[in-house]
Amino acid sequence: MPDRGGGPSGPRIRVGRPSRRVRTLLMTLGVLAVLLMAFTMFAGFWADWLWYRSVDYSSVFTTTLWTKIGLFFVFGLLMAVAVGLNIWLAHRLRPPLSAMSAEQQNLDRYRMSVAPYKKWLLLGITALVGLIAGASASSQWRTWLMWVNGVSFGQKDPQFKLDVSFYAFDLPWYRFLLGFGFAAVVLSLIAAALTHYLYGGLRVTSPGARATAAATGHLSVLIGVFVALKAVAYWLDRYGLAVKSSDFKATDNWTGLRYVDANAYLPAKTILFCIAVICALLFFGTLWRRTWQLPVIGFGLMVLSAILIGGLYPAIVQKFQVQPNEQAKEAPYVEKNLKATRDAYGIDGAKVTEYPGTSQTEDKSRLRDKVPATASVRILDPNIVSPTFQQLQQIRNYYAFPTNLDVDRYSKNGKVQDTVIGLRELNLSGIPKNNWINDHFRYTHGYGVVAAEGTTADSEGRPKFTESDLPSRGSLGSYEQRVYYGEKTTSYSIVGGPQKEIDYSDDNGEKTYSYKGDSGVDLSNPVNRAAYAAAFSEPQILYSGAIGEGSRILYNRTPKERVEAIAPWLTIDGDAYPAVVGKRIQWIVDAYTTTNGYPYSSRTTLGDTTADSLTATNDNRAVVAQQNQVNYIRNSVKATVDAYTGEVKLYEWDTKDPVLKTWMKAFPGTVKARSDISAALMDHFRYPQDLFKVQRELLTRYHVRNPQTFLSGSEVWQVPDDPTNQSGNAVPPYYLSMKMPDQKSQVFSLTTTFTPNGRDNLSAFMSVDAEAGTKGYGSIRILKLPTSTTAAGPKQVQSQFNSEQAIAETIRLLRGGDSEVEYGNLLAVPLDGGLLYVEPVYVRGGGLKYPLLRKVLVTYGGNTAFEDTLEEALDKVFGAKGAPEKPPGDEETTPPPTSDNPTVQEALDDAQKAFETGQEALKKGDWEAYGKAQKDLEDALKRAEDAQSRAAKGGGAAAGDGKGERPRPSGSPSPKPSGSPQNS
């Protein structure tokens, strides 16, 4: 019989070997391939190190790198040792001889083939499993850092009375260790069983015993370890119930214990834990009693118990105890879920106030003058007017604006106003000729800020720019205008070297520039050049004469990309926005800390809850989530990125957040104190949109505090779809300065509306104070309308606009020819118990390729207006001109009828002519003539208003002196003197 460890005897067949020259060539090619692979890996590593060092966050790189390396080697070595040791042990415990059988004769051939390579095979298998296990473990670097640096929440879960940090930081790490243990035992068991089978320790068809005593003991111990780990899993599952998701009719993302969990699953897990411990001891006992009988019986009992106690019993409890009286049984657990969810998402302070939904004032004309004090209604939609900015302020084709502009607050003439702002960024697709030098050396940056008043437009429907032209000039003063880092800057640039850059062009030709900042990585070093040539697959970087002393490579240039790179533990808001702070342009990026382990808090999927009609058409607005499903979120960090230097600063915003404190322990020195935020920068911080969208989604259910109401689902809301487009996605929240009913003055706010689930009427209005640095920042207010009130929701308001015959006819005329009508943001403003809706309407037509504001839709209390300006639409809806309110009892002099006042009548005649001229121009698509006619119409109406006002004061109109009159439309007759005296 052949020895189990030996190889075959007899003559060997010699196979022809390649010649020495061929062997040398193959060896050389192999060495070169290995060196090339090694250098490519080194290049990527070296480039990353250089980049982190260039932004002064090298500690993030080193901490992350060493953590990954440590986890890789520790767990890779553990897995390799576990599997290798069991293979070696199984080989060592092999029987010396095997029985004569067909099975063993077939296995002899494999044993003989393996014999010469046993050591190498053992090393290869252990190395392979070690590499796989190490790579898997290194991906758990966040879990490890959170566990080792975890900070107490100071709050305990209501079931087990453990600190929340146990579920957020400890339990994920314990589960990883448990999963690793299961994997190690299963792989060891498979490897040991195969080895025992190969060397005769296990037999399938051979006569006699199926397993040797040694194999029985070895495999029994491994199975016992597996069962012991299962016992640990049962014990951890008890705590896992507090963060377990389940289907529950109250909510789709229910988290935490319910009645059946606390009264069936929890005791079942405890019982199964005890059974698993006993079963594991029985398997370990086979070392002394070489029989499988008792362990197999114990294992069968454990499986049966898992089915009966862990599956059937909870189902019986649910069916016969919970379902007949569900609300009473589940109410205590729903109350825990309500409290935990509201705490975890920062909505526990949301103030819900009853709101009538209809105006309480009979004389609506008295509300006209309350509108300006209630809201600075923004009629310039930042999501519509980017093409207008592009057409009017692009200046050069190699500049572009983002698809969606931003809303910020700036002071003009001492008054803070809502402002639409965008940067003139680099657009490589618009440069005269694309080549490597132009794309990466000559055209490297954008130039300047363009800003416009948010609440007004000029007579042509164009934005009223407060900062414009190239170089930009206006109300923002002097600042560094070059934009090397921006939302559209996705390509690398090499600056500061021999090759000059295109700065900007004016009437005197192109201006050149050489970057003077210290951003980027120095390419003077040939090693750096070689590394980036390999990392970017650009061999020209290695030998190009355009690179020399002082050359620096800039990359990772979008604000969100830079913040994500230096803080890989943060979730990044989808909307980075620019602000002029001091003498610099700063990108402001909101960032969040999250966890998925807050007990009893229901989960949400960030990618879904932050999606709306804007993210559907613009991928750049999507949230950058490190963990897509979460049940705790805080806007803990405000980050800034300098548009010129690319410098990134992280500021601690939420000073109480334990998740942020944990990451600050893991990465010390990376986050600056909140006290370091300057007053000028604080003025531009705002409440982030993605957090608001997450909170509003939760508040569709969690605005109620009564468990019975929550369970009934009678007050479930929904976020309405955006009625201004056909995307079918949720309406985005809108920034505007407004005053809620309990506020004394306007506050920069972020607002949204709710409708009842499955219906289109309005159910609630929500706002949050968005102005950072103020006392009320982050205060959530919800105006809840009575269920009996059928106040119109956004979709109904849009339908009302579209269904009114006069409006529909005007829209049809606006769409004449090749014109397109675009609806702007539908803003809602609470006013005197009702809701005022305002929507700007833009037209692209004639030879124009960009939208201009042509009309404004306004509705309130069932009255609708569709006029050229917001003021005119408000006048029509409320039936009154905007003027200071008079105290009750004041007597007013009634002006004479307009037919008796020649000046008024002539002005109205001129207005009629201007209107008719405008309509004719509209039909022809002549926008220049239409704009002129609208200006003449405005002038005529103003003259009529002035003349009637003077008549009201003095009993007649002073038409002959022309004082106070606006310029008349060209071609209209001069007014006839009335002979009436002029009253001062």
User: pLDDT per residue over 902-911, tens digit each?
Assistant: 566 677 677 7
Number of neighbouring beta carbons within 10 Å of residue 15: 5
Number of neighbouring beta carbons within 10 Å of residue 822: 17
**Would you put residue 887 in left (φ > 0), alpha (ψ -120 to 50) or beta?**
beta
Q: Which residue has the higher pLDDT, 725 or 138?
A: 138
User: How do residues 611-667 score in pLDDT, each as one tens digit?
Assistant: 988 887 777 788 888 888 999 999 999 999 999 999 999 999 999 999 999 999 999
What would the mean pLDDT of 689-696 be, rounded to a whole number? Answer: 96
User: What values do phi and psi take at 223, rounded to 5?
Assistant: -65, -40
Specify burial of residue 203 (Cβ count, 10 A radius: 0-12, 13-18, 19+). buried
Cα–Cα distance for residue pair 850/295, rounded to 1 Å: 79
What pLDDT is recorded for position 332? 93
Cα–Cα distance for residue pair 251/241, rounded to 1 Å: 17
What pLDDT is recorded for position 120? 86
Cα–Cα distance for residue pair 968/937, rounded to 1 Å: 10
Tell me the residue ranges of DSSP E strands in 617-716.
629-630, 632-642, 648-652
Specify burial of residue 888 (Cβ count, 10 A radius: 0-12, 13-18, 19+). exposed
Q: Calculate the CA dihedral of residues 867, 871, 873, 878 and round it to 10 degrees.
A: -160
Residue 799 has pLDDT above 60, yes or no: yes
Place of tokens 């920034």: 735
pLDDT-wise least confident of 131-140, 563-572, 791-800: 791-800
What pLDDT is recorded for position 24? 82
Is residue 710 within 8 A of residue 732, CB to CB? The reply is no
Cα–Cα distance for residue pair 499/442, rounded to 1 Å: 7
Q: How many CA atoms lie within 13 A of 946 on its CB side?
A: 19
What would the mean pLDDT of 353-369 be, rounded to a whole number? Answer: 86
- Out of 191-200, 208-217, 545-554, 806-815, the most confident range is 545-554
Residue 877 has pLDDT above 70, yes or no: yes
Average pLDDT of the chain is 85
Instruction: Give this prediction's pTM.
Output: 0.83
What pLDDT is recorded for position 947? 67
User: How do residues 497-526 score in pLDDT, each as one tens digit?
Assistant: 999 999 988 777 789 999 998 899 999 889
For 727, the 3-state DSSP assignment is coil
What pLDDT is recorded for position 885? 38
Number of neighbouring beta carbons within 10 Å of residue 14: 6
- pLDDT band for position 100 (cuts 50, 70, 90): low
For 379, the 3-state DSSP assignment is coil
310 CA to centre of own chain = 39
pLDDT-wise least confident of 164-168, 244-248, 310-314, 604-608: 244-248
For 789, the 3-state DSSP assignment is coil
Residue 835 has pLDDT above 80, yes or no: yes
For 527, the 3-state DSSP assignment is helix
User: How do residues 443-456 score in pLDDT, each as one tens digit?
Assistant: 999 999 999 999 99
